[in-house]
Structures are given as structure tokens and as C-alpha cells.
A and B are shown apart, each in its own frame.
Chain A
Amino acid sequence: MNERAQIRMLADGRRLHLHDGPIDLIVEAFGSPHQVEAAYRAASVRFLAVLDELCGELAYLRTACSAEAPWPRGAVARRMVAAVMPYAAEYFVTPMAAVAGAVAEEILASMTAAAELSSAYVNDGGDIALHLGAGEKLVIGMVERPDRPSLLGTTTVHAHDPVRGIATSGWRGRSFSLGIADSVTVLADRAAAADAAATIIANAVDLPGHSAIVRVPACELAPDSDLRNQPVTQAVGELTVEDVDQALEAGARSAQRLLRMGLIRSSALSLHGETRVVGALGELPITATSVHERGLVHA
């Protein structure tokens, strides 16, 4: 069947790396060696089918979401549609906005179904699905700019918190953004929901019509982009303190709304070194850059 996919342990002997086409997952599970092995095996088996499943309905997943559209077939695709549906009426958004989070969720679900784990995470390029058994916690490191990984802060997610998904969006990342945020990190109940919300909030961190911002229709950069001819940010020039403030304010208003609607738990928005936090989000800013042994560098 799938001869592209690569499945291997990373050099540390603890984390599993799953790669297929554009998908790269870093997976780590905690528990007895036997259970961890069972979880990795389940993750690997499930992973082999994921990309082909997604590509089977790619045209559908690249079209704007609407309440009338039929449900997709694949489990990952369904997670994607469910995550973006709350935004369908108000924004141009395609299920692709939640693809990374949805894949992370799906793989994590396969692991927790196959094994008893104290905790686990699946990190899909910065969009992370978490599993936390009673009393467990994970420390998450956040970076301000994905292209310059230095820790912006850490946040600790405890088992008693409702957060099980973390995602980051921004124009410097691998996907296109309509906004100018360097990064928007979202904590939500699930990874796909966090992924979709981060996209929406990052789009809202914006200065419409500002001359220092270079925007290009997405299809000119990637002809098959789901964003079609939407102008995506390619460069952000000099901004005044007022500009930064105004853009972050617009993003924060969006985040506040999503918070009140129960779609997210908290969010951190970064632009030109300024950070806004909406909701309760860990220990910000941090002074020490050492991350707990179980910490994840979030890039």
C-alpha cells in the first residue's frame, strides 16, 4: 500500500517520527514500555492510511465550508469539518484550516484506544494533540516566530484543565495567513479546534490597506491553494507602535469573541515583539528558557 511513508524512532530513542508527503508528526507517549510500544504501533498503522484518505477528498476539503455541504467520508476529514464549521457562516474558511490539528487528534486517538498511557502528545508541525491521565501535566514551550525559534514562554497543561489541543498560526509559518501576526497560539479543548481558531485569530491580526504589508493572491504562489485568490501576507515592513497596537487589538477582539463562544480556552498573539494574552495562559513572560524535561518546543 503506502510506500512513501517513513516511520522511525528519533535519535533519542523515545520519540516516534512519522512522515508522509507534507505530514511530519513527532509523537511521544509515556507509560509502561509495553504500553508505549503498543501505542506507537497503533499510531504507525493508523498513520499509513491518513494521507491517502485525505487526498481522496482533497478537492472537497479545499473548498469553503458551508452548513449545506455533505459530510466527508474520512475520520480526519470529519474532524476538520467539525472544527471549521463554527466559522463557516462568517468567514471564508476551508476544512484545510484544521488539517494539522485533525491529523494530530486522529493519531492520538488511535494511540489511546490501543494502550493505557499516563500521557502522550502528537505534534503535527506545532499543532499538538494532548492526552493527560489523572494527575499528569505537560509543559508546553511557545515560540514567538516559527522561523526564529526562541522561547516566548511556557504554559503548563494539567489533567484537570480542559485543554487537549494547542495550535499556532502566523504568516511566517508553513501555511499562508491573511493576517500579519508573527504567531497566534491557541489552547482549546481539541487540536483541530485550536488549529482552526488560530487561523481565524491570526487572520484578524491585521491592518487592512497598510502600505508596509505585501500581499499576493495565494494562487499565484501555490496554484492549488485552498485560499484561491485571497491576498496572503508575504512581507511586513516597518510598523509604528500604534500600528502594532491596532493590529493586535483587532486580533484580541476576535480571540475574545471565540473565548466567549467557548471555542477556545486562551490565546497568545505576537507581533513585532509585542504579545497579547487572551484568557489564562500559563506563565508569561518567562525569564528562564529552560523547559521542563517533558516540555515541547513549539515551532
Chain B
Amino acid sequence: MLTQLQRPPPLKTEPRPANQILSALPQDEFERLRPNLREVQLKIGDIVYRPEETIDFVYFVNRGIVSWLATLEDGNTVEAGVIGPEGVAGVPVLLGARSTPNLGLAQSELFASKISSRDLIVEFRRNGELNRLILRFVHSLFTQVAQTAACNRLHTLDQRLARWLLVTHDRLKGDEFTLTQEFLSRMLGVRRAGVSVAANSLRQSGLIDYHRGNIQILDRPGLESVSCECYEIVKQEYNARF
């Protein structure tokens, strides 16, 4: 006699967000965070953190990039580091600070799981896996920023632009992304005319194409050979497992 096949119970666990920290958490830690996570979407160029404003929310990036810009009083900026799906934006509150003098900007369309600083600090303070994963990420981010400090002094604009494109390409899906020269000039801390010359030189070498605010990566290995070694040094630090 055929027994009626029971339908499997509905899946209790919904798929996790794509963020690499959230997806690596043990079930119990994730379940504690889940009720406080909100999925949000930001547009390219949206400000995530204003300098010196209280950091009320932390963003686990699911898709896209948050860019950290060091700002000067005269309005000059340069990108100190980027955060993609491997990390979390708003780290200063976990380290015990309330705000940061840096500017956090959505460098692309951004999908993130947002949580209040207060709720995240509670879980962080349990010194469990979330704590370990976030501190490990802070190390990677620190390495990135330290390398950029050296790179900004030592390397040519062509090298730095190639590095920047590779770093962006690693974190965004697809070979084409929106990118104005105005934006690039703020990220790289150079005049627009300079960006234009460097981008042209990469285009003439057949490594990229760009038109009307869109950049397309045509030859990744070629970009890697133009980029300074800073790209590889930071990447190794991110990939290393302990």
C-alpha cells in the first residue's frame, strides 16, 4: 500500500545574505542577528557616512562597494580603502569610536544588510565567531589602507588607476561599471585632466574601453601587468587564511 508522501516541512532557514561574514557565521549567531538585519539598497554616489557624524548603523555589503575617502579641509579627497561583500562598513563603532572623520560613499549601486550599531555591538561583544571574522576583516582593511598610503606616494597615475580598476572589478559582478571621470578624480586624488590622460592610455593599449561614464574591462591580465604590485600584495593578505 502506498503511503502518502509527506511534503517536506517548509525550510526554516531562508537563504543567508551574500555577505561573506554573515554567510560564514554559525547558525546560532546568525539567528541572533537576523531579526535586526534590514535589506537596503543605495544608489551610486549616496553618502553612507558623513565625516564626524555618529555611526548609527553598520552595513554588511551584499553587492557593490563602499568607498572610504580621507577628506581634507580644502575639499580634496583620496580613497583610503574600499569595502565589498567581503566586509562590513561602520567598523569604527565596533572598535569603540562613535564617528570617523572619513567619508563613506556608495561607489556603485549598493545592496547591504543594515543593522543598528547598538544591536551589532552586543553580538560583537560576545567574542564569538562574528568578533573573530570582523577583526580579521579589519586587518585586511588596514593592510589595504597602509598599502594605499605607500602607493599614493610612490606610484604613477597609470599604475594606480589600473590597480583601482582591478580592486573594483574584484568586488563588482560583470566587466562593465558606471564611472565618471569626476568620481575617479576624487578617488585617486588627481585632477580630472590627469584621469583623462591615464584612462586614455589604458584605452589605447586595449585594456579598457569607456564612454559616457561607463568603463568596460577588456584585458584583465593586461591591467594586472600595468598595475603596481600593491594590488597583488593586498589581495594576498585578503586571501590568506589562518
A binds B: no
